[in-house]
Amino acid sequence: MSAIVLLILGLGGMAAGYFFYSRFIADKIYKLDPDFETPAHSMEDGVDFVPTNKFVLWGHHFTSVAGAAPIVGPAIAVIWGWLPAFLWVVFGTIFFAGVHDSGAIWASVRNRAQSVGSLTGEVVGPRARSVFMIVIFLVLLMVNAVFGVVIARLLINNPGAVVPVWGAIAVALVIGQLIYRWKLNLAVVSLLGVVALYALIWVGPSVPIALPETTFGLSANAAWILILFAYAAIASLLPVWVLLQPRDYINGLQLFVGLILLYGAMLIANPTVVAPALNVNVPEGTPPLLPLLFVTIACGAISGFHGLVASGTTSKQLNKETDARFVGYFGAIGEGALALAAILAATAGFASLADWQEVYSKFGAGSLKAFVDGGATILSAGTGIDAAVSATMLTVMAALFAGTTMDTGLRLQRYIFQEWGEIYNVAWMRRPVPATLLAVGACILLAFGAGGADGSGGLLIWPLFGTTNQLLAGLTLLVVTVMLVRLGRPTLYTLVPLVFLLVMTLAALLIQLRGFYEKQDWFLFTLDLVVLVAAVLVTLECTASLRRHKKAREAEVEG
């Protein structure tokens, strides 16, 4: 099959979802109000609460939620064939992710920009909040610790990407000043930023930079991880407009340019999808498609991490409530488009089925390498761009997304410690610096405590990211659904995704639990059990909370 057919069907479906379904959700279900004073105005402080142009905020939101996961998940999931991954990405984006992301922003904005974890205490109850905070902490720990490893390995394997990856930070600092201090036209600033970023990508391969094999006894991998955590800690303490917003914004533009180039190359080169639609000869050890597909592709269809960003940083910067549709729903569309590109690169970027099967020889083998190699092949064939530059471009794309997610992730983890300080009345924990040190310390403890001197400990718990993340998405949908029940509005559009996610997550956790037991991996077995208990408790809380609020609403209407 031609990749062009999937490209047109996928993008066409998601575009229709944005223009029609998202308008229905925004107008009839959430009833977004352009006159509602958002927390960015009522609580403006110039650090975290900053009214922001919706295009700039879209860039921040989209690149923060994207990370490397919408590339990694689909690139792994095509081992079951391209059709299941394609259907879940397209329909999951339209009916699940967009509703979830814009709903999380709406719920937070309507409640003083509280994070979804804190909001759970008010909307559902204190027990649910306690479970929620544990799940959130685990997800953030996984994301931050793992993305540190992912970026470190990308920089080691592609030394040509070092200059553009770190140079992007300098570009972002300048962009922030041009937008907020110099008030330059956004279109001009955007053009300057994108040109500077792609100039760095072009220069990068000619000045490769590699760390020494050992520095003060640390491997290059460990040294990069420590450098990245030090950077992320500083970035998380700066006002959002100084680095976080502009960095995310130009990265979002960079992705758009990258996707246009990649999709344009597909239209010119017309590659053939060599992978089977349904792969009936999966390698030994591959888990069952149902339910694992729905937790393997988390970001790219629906992801609980999106709710953390939406209620953690995005809601604090929303200029108008109606912007939630563009920022939240269209942010999900952008991520779906990235996931679609990953599917096409990982199934049409190979010369033959045999080449594809050689890469997909075991579960998890595809991942970023399949995206970079397959995508570079298509990009080079369609545009004539040198293969090395094409590979660097895609590597930088993945590294920058992982980096921006890490920036936001550490800031969110800092918020969690600060919220615990508020809840348990621990004064010092409410301050930004100690809370940041706790957040970084937890990540380093996992990276080096569990992973040894190499610092790759985050990867040990990565197998549980998908299930924990989807459980989080279900919890966020619960909060939104309860708010809708209270307001007497239709709940079907959030309740169906909520039930689906809880069923799939519980089933996946049970399958994984059995697998960890058979492998006698007691660390993951115990962690899986913790998440499973949390999932069961949350399911019970869901049922009780919805019943309680539904009865209260009915009594209110009758009375």
Is 29 buried (19+), middle (13-18) or exposed (0-12) by CB count in 10 A?
buried
The average pLDDT across 435-450 equals 89
Token output for 73? 């998940």
pLDDT, residue 475, reads 85
The tokens of 26 are what? Answer: 């925004």
User: Amino acid identity, residue 435?
Assistant: A
How many whole angstroms separate alpha carbon 511 and alpha carbon 506?
9
pLDDT-derived band at 552, boundaries 50, 70, 90 = confident
Q: Which pair of structure tokens corresponds to residue 215?
A: 């520095």
The answer to whether the beta carbons of residues 149 and 219 sit under 8 Å apart is no
**How many CA within 13 A on the CB side of residue 251?**
40
What is the C-alpha radius of gyration for the chain, rounded to an integer number of angstroms? 22
Tokens of 162: 């070092």
* Start-to-end Cα distance in the chain: 61
Cα(304)–Cα(525) distance, integer angstroms: 22
Across residues 411-425, what is the average pLDDT?
Answer: 86
One-letter identity of residue 336 = G
- CA 426 to CA 11: how far, in whole Å? 49
pLDDT at 187 over 90: no
Q: Is the pLDDT of residue 223 over 90?
A: yes
Q: What are 272's strand-pairing partners?
A: 2
pLDDT-above-90 percentage for the chain = 44
Q: Which of 40-49, 66-75, 284-293 has the lowest mean pLDDT?
A: 66-75
Length of the chain: 559
Answer for the pair 472, 295: CB distance below 8 angstroms, yes or no: no
CATH topology of domain 3-558: Hydantoin permease (1.10.4160)
Rounded CA gap, 21 and 97, in Å? 12
pLDDT at 447: 86
Tokens (6 digits) for 118? 């804190």
* pTM reported for the whole predicted model: 0.88
**Winning range, highest mean pLDDT, from 2-16, 257-271, 290-304, 436-450:** 2-16
Average pLDDT, the chain: 89
CB 276 within 8 A of CB 425: no
CA dihedral sign, ordered 362, 366, 368, 374:
positive
Instruction: Quote the CA–CA distance of 446 and 74 in Å, as a whole number.
Output: 26
Check if the beta carbon of residue 262 is closer than 8 Å to that of residue 375.
yes
How many Å apart are CA 368 and CA 402, to the nearest integer?
Answer: 12
Percent of the chain scored above 70 by pLDDT? 100
What is the pLDDT, as a whole number, of residue 484?
A: 94
Average pLDDT of the residues in 80-104:
96
- Count, in order, helices (H) and strands (E) of the chain: 24, 2
DSSP 112: T
- The Cα 214–Cα 229 span in angstroms is 18
For residues 232 and 148, give the distance between their C-alpha atoms in angstroms, rounded to a whole number: 10
